[in-house]
Chain A
Amino acid sequence: MSDAAYLDLSDLTLAYGKTVAVERLDLPIRKGELIALLGPSGCGKTTTMRAITGLLKPASGIITLDGKDITRLPANKREVGLVFQSYALFPHLSVFENVAFGLRLKRLPSTEIVKKVEDGLAMVGLGQFQGRKPAELSGGQQQRVALARSLVMQPKVLLLDEPLSNLDARLRLEMRTELQRVQRESGVTMVFVTHDQNEALALADRIVVMRDGRIEQLGTPEEVYNSPVSRFVADFVGFENIFPVKDGQLQTENGLTELPIPLSAQTTGLAWRPNMVRLGEGRFEGEVLGVAFAGGTREYLLKTPLGPIKAEMDATAPAFAPGSRLAFDLPTERAAVLDRM
């Protein structure tokens, strides 16, 4: 796959002074892909993005883009666009001049600049705001200007830093659709940074889950959502019941419990989402500690020999009262099989 990589980060180590933020990262990205770097703050995702832009020089490793080694290329010669989380529009310039900024530096003929800026602003639906100053626009509009400003440069890679985090819920959905459309129409390779798994799942072709400066899992949204490979990823995508496995058996207070399905030797844990827990029948028994009505479902907290378990059941099913004992099952065939705990 590395051969087909358009943007290839290879053995990349990034550091701020003596603090290593990203260690020996390998990440091949294909042309036209929409990649999400997902992880909690401090995981190295923003650092990785800054290294791609050239604003941060790597301590070691190689970055190639479109077949060329750009590791030592200065940021202003890389043809990499970045939409900042804060948008970073130039406050003293009009919307038109903001978008035209990079084109003017390229010394394009002014008719061409006008056409490109107008096309760019039309693409993000802001054609009528050319004369305004950034301060006169809403946050969502400012972000569109920032997006247009990067897109008119026709970058080889467009990076977006937390593109949806500053928008309200309705605008977020709108911008998400917008980003997908822009990516479809322009075919630009996009990498965006987010700490929100829903954003990553909804937008990305592939998700890079990062933790402590390393890649924890790299896969399609389906793979990451349904088959997390480690405790960290499982926890991050909503598997709230995670239990260690030893020698193919679940560990409980009273020792080990045999599992109905044989597991591979490297399996170190199993994880279930609350809605995967089957209540009312099964091999285990627990006590209801609490129940909460959550609209379409009822959420249970159970005390079990395995430890506390969160379960979720359709609200139309009869409720179990707190204090009652009940049988339940953790269906092994639905569990996420974890290689790392």
Chain B
Amino acid sequence: MSSYSITEPSPRSKWIAGILVVSYALITLIPLVWIIATGFKSSSDSIAYPPKVFFEPTLEGYVNLFTRQTRATPEQLAATPPTTWYEQIVHDNGMVISGPSRFGERFMNSVIIGFGSTFLSVFLGTLAAYAFSRYRIPLKDDLMFFILSTRMMPPIAVAIPIFLMFRAAGLSDTHAGMILLYTAVNLSLAVWLLKGFIDEIPREYEEAALIDGYTRFQAFVKVVLPQAATGIASTAIFCLIFAWNEYAFAVLLTSGTAQTAPPFIPTIIGVGGRDWPAVAAGATLFLVPVMVFTILLRKHLLRGITFGAVRK
């Protein structure tokens, strides 16, 4: 805008506001920067006093995260010279690698369960949202409120029967069980968000398609879905982040085969005390994708977070 507006804040107040916000942002970043930095520290640097801000970066934490190790005698070490860079790092600490750790599996579980439940909740959510947006459904408002209210329910209120149901149905500690559970938890948000997006697509497009001889279903697939693509994508990211971060049900219902990363990362322990660089390395690998997503897709995500308030 070139014209002067009386409601525009003065340059001075803009500066002050900017400085205050940026300093808050920098303070709030410290823990996150510290997680990433600790992942690249050696064990001794990570517990140095005073804490080291500058240090020699090493991949020791990442190697420890992905491997299981046993202590070896000097003779054994001399007998098995390291052949790769990661064996070298372990070797320097007087250890030998005895196999891969469980981290890779747990991470993959998070990926499978996260993407599986996201796909399902967006799929079912889109269908329901379309129906709620375009058709007269008896008790529509009540149903929509019912869908929203399931999100308010504390997971603890339903955790006991879900635990019993899963045990009876053999779903405990399975990927299918966790995907189903997270889908149900995410569905309410997905339906509400997607209904908002579909409401914004003009009905005339579908009506034109119907006149052209499309069936209702074809019109939905060929006209509505492409129009709603952005909305569907941002809803999917929301569902994915929820499933990715979820802890309470995961710790309750999984222990081995289907355990996701959030219950696993806190259980990482090293030899003699907690291996903080390894924990930080695991946390970094787990958290950084979400940070990158958030920054790249900020426009769409911020709308999702405030949807309840903005849409009133």
- The answer on A and B forming one complex is no
* Interface, chain A (partner B; CB < 8 A): none
